[in-house]
Copies of this chain bind each other. A is one copy, B any other.
Amino acid sequence: MSTNNNDTKAKTPLPDLPEPAHAQLDSMLARKFGKEVANYFAGSPLNRVSFLRPDTAFLSQALKHESSRFVLYNNLNPLVKSPERLHYVSYKDVEAVVGDPYNRSEDELVKQYNSSIYQPQLVFLGIDEKKNSEGLVYRERYSGQPYWAVDVTPRASVTEAAEQLIKRLEATGVYFVQGRMQLSLVAEEAAIYAEGRHLLDWNARNPFCAGCGHKTLSVNGGFKRTCPPKDLADRLADAAEAPDRPPCATRVGVSNLCFPRTDPTVIMAVVSSDGQRMLLGRQRRWPPHWYSTLAGFLEPAESVEEAVRREVWEESGIHLGRVVIHSTQPWPFPANLMIGAIGQSIPDGEEIHLGHDAELEDARWFSFDEIREALRTGTSGLGEEPGPEYTPGALRVPPKTAIANQLMVAVVNGFANAEPKI
């Protein structure tokens, strides 16, 4: 597969990576393994309070609270005031589009399901507990400013209301970013945006039940889709009730099909057996001299360590021995978890062969010095130029918002062969 190359159109300097306070703690784990690398798109400031999602009384209050902030998406493009900053709106701004879908219990919502009624997708992202003086207080224990993602794409019954809202907002200078190349959100907002995007996309991709083929209903504040036993849209004109839909396996016990999908993906820096070189590869569509770490989807019934060895062999012919997991990164395009690893090749398995899986145009061993120089002068997103210090013809690599970059940094800083640096 393609590695995550952070096509983000980054400004100079790139947005800082998140550095949560716990990464600074003088714990035994931190002393032994070093600071935690919190990759871009991780580091959310929100508490998801996931156990409150089935509680529509909570969701309704969180929706309508004065302090609540809404991230709007039009065809998955977020509303921003600049490439670095989201533009949040309040409930009164979106009320005409979303209404209050939480005015009944979740059980009632399932019973009254009517697939012919269009409800714009809402996602409850969590609460920012730092803002608890002005925020919602629930059950005296949970307090903060609620955050939501909303799909305001003009569509079906809300076409007019959504168009008016968009027009009114755009008149103030804010805009929906077309494509992620134009986004370089500061780290905390990147994490908020990623949560909303992943869940809006999942809901949009899964309108039907994969178990029975019927339409499903979004519940749990956007974190679950359920297959209701009846659909009021099926009711005949002279009938008192809608007929039962066919039995569905997802209604029996717990079914993973009801919950959002996240695809585990491995991405790995490969160090040579002598500890002097790193393997990088490139795809044909990338700019000249641009290389990255190899990557691929984890498959069913594989450990991460096995998936790393399989993908590296399939793409480059290299045989790996020991594999260590370094850090992970959410990647919401559309639904990945990047699991970053470092592996070392075995002495008699270092010959490159690209012919198994013809995915890479090239793969090569680079010296650590070459990679250090590329990390210093040759980083950029795929769609942009490297900085002024870059020497034409030299190696180019992904920016620091990509976990590929963080893995390379860890290796050249001695992850494999000196004191722990992560």
Contact (A320, B215) CB under 8 Å given A206-B257, A416-B32 = no
When the two chains form their complex, are residues A346 and B195 in contact, meaning their CB atoms are under 8 A apart?
Answer: no
When the two chains form their complex, are residues B264 and A23 in contact, meaning their CB atoms are under 8 A apart?
Answer: no
State whether the Cβ of A33 lies closer than 8 Å to any Cβ in chain B: yes
A331 → chain B closest CB, angstroms? 9
Q: Which residues of B lie under 8 Å from residue A358 when comparing CB positions?
A: 51
A376 → chain B closest CB, angstroms? 24
When the two chains form their complex, are residues A346 and B25 in contact, meaning their CB atoms are under 8 A apart?
Answer: yes
When the two chains form their complex, are residues A305 and B328 in contact, meaning their CB atoms are under 8 A apart?
Answer: yes
Q: Which residues of B lie under 8 Å from residue A48 when comparing CB positions?
A: 299, 310
- CB < 8 Å: which of B256, B259, B261, B303 contacts A328? B303
Report Cα–Cα, A409/B47, bound state, in Å: 31
State whether the Cβ of A194 lies closer than 8 Å to any Cβ in chain B: yes
State whether the Cβ of A198 lies closer than 8 Å to any Cβ in chain B: yes
State whether the Cβ of A334 lies closer than 8 Å to any Cβ in chain B: yes
- CB < 8 Å: which of B36, B41, B194, B206 contacts A211? B206
Contact (A194, B42) CB under 8 Å given A208-B211, A213-B214, A264-B264 = no
Q: Which residues of B lie under 8 Å from residue A205 when comparing CB positions?
A: 210-211, 249, 255, 257
**Chain B interface: which of A62-70, A229-237, A337-345, A379-387?**
A337-345
- Report A134-158 residues with CB < 8 Å from chain B CB: 141
- CB < 8 Å: which of B29, B208, B212, B344 contacts A271? B29
- Report A272-327 residues with CB < 8 Å from chain B CB: 273, 275, 297-306, 309-310, 314, 320-325, 327
When the two chains form their complex, are residues A198 and B38 in contact, meaning their CB atoms are under 8 A apart?
Answer: no
Q: Which residues of B lie under 8 Å from residue A328 when comparing CB positions?
A: 303-305, 325
A303 → chain B closest CB, angstroms? 4
Report Cα–Cα, A226/B48, bound state, in Å: 35
When the two chains form their complex, are residues A262 and B264 in contact, meaning their CB atoms are under 8 A apart?
Answer: yes
Q: Which residues of B lie under 8 Å from residue A357 when comparing CB positions?
A: 50-51
- Report A331-356 residues with CB < 8 Å from chain B CB: 332, 334-335, 337, 339, 342-344, 346, 355-356
Contact (A337, B304) CB under 8 Å given A223-B299, A325-B328 = yes
A80 → chain B closest CB, angstroms? 18
Q: Which residues of B lie under 8 Å from residue A273 when comparing CB positions?
A: 27
When the two chains form their complex, are residues B300 and A327 in contact, meaning their CB atoms are under 8 A apart?
Answer: no
- CB < 8 Å: which of B42, B195, B211 contacts A207? B211
When the two chains form their complex, are residues A322 and B22 in contact, meaning their CB atoms are under 8 A apart?
Answer: yes
Q: Which residues of B lie under 8 Å from residue A309 when comparing CB positions?
A: 22
Which residue on B lies nearest to A274, using beta carbons?
B28
State whether the Cβ of A330 lies closer than 8 Å to any Cβ in chain B: yes
Chain A 24-60: CB-based contact to B (< 8 A → 1; otherwise 0): 0101111011001011011110011111000000000
When the two chains form their complex, are residues A208 and B206 in contact, meaning their CB atoms are under 8 A apart?
Answer: no
Q: Which residues of B lie under 8 Å from residue A339 when comparing CB positions?
A: 304, 339
Report Cα–Cα, A324/B209, bound state, in Å: 37
Q: Which residues of B lie under 8 Å from residue A330 when comparing CB positions?
A: 300-303
Contact (A322, B209) CB under 8 Å given A306-B44, A330-B303 = no
- CB < 8 Å: which of B194, B257, B327 contacts A305? B327
State whether the Cβ of A71 lies closer than 8 Å to any Cβ in chain B: no
When the two chains form their complex, are residues B327 and A38 in contact, meaning their CB atoms are under 8 A apart?
Answer: no
Report Cα–Cα, A297/B263, bound state, in Å: 12
Q: Which residues of B lie under 8 Å from residue A344 when comparing CB positions?
A: 25, 27-30
**What would 9 A/B residue contacts be, using CB atoms closer than 8 Å?**
A22-B346, A36-B323, A43-B306, A50-B314, A210-B257, A256-B334, A261-B261, A301-B330, A339-B339
Other 12 A-B pairs with CB < 8 A, given A29-B321, A305-B327? A22-B309, A25-B346, A29-B343, A29-B344, A33-B324, A36-B305, A44-B306, A199-B300, A206-B211, A208-B213, A209-B210, A256-B335
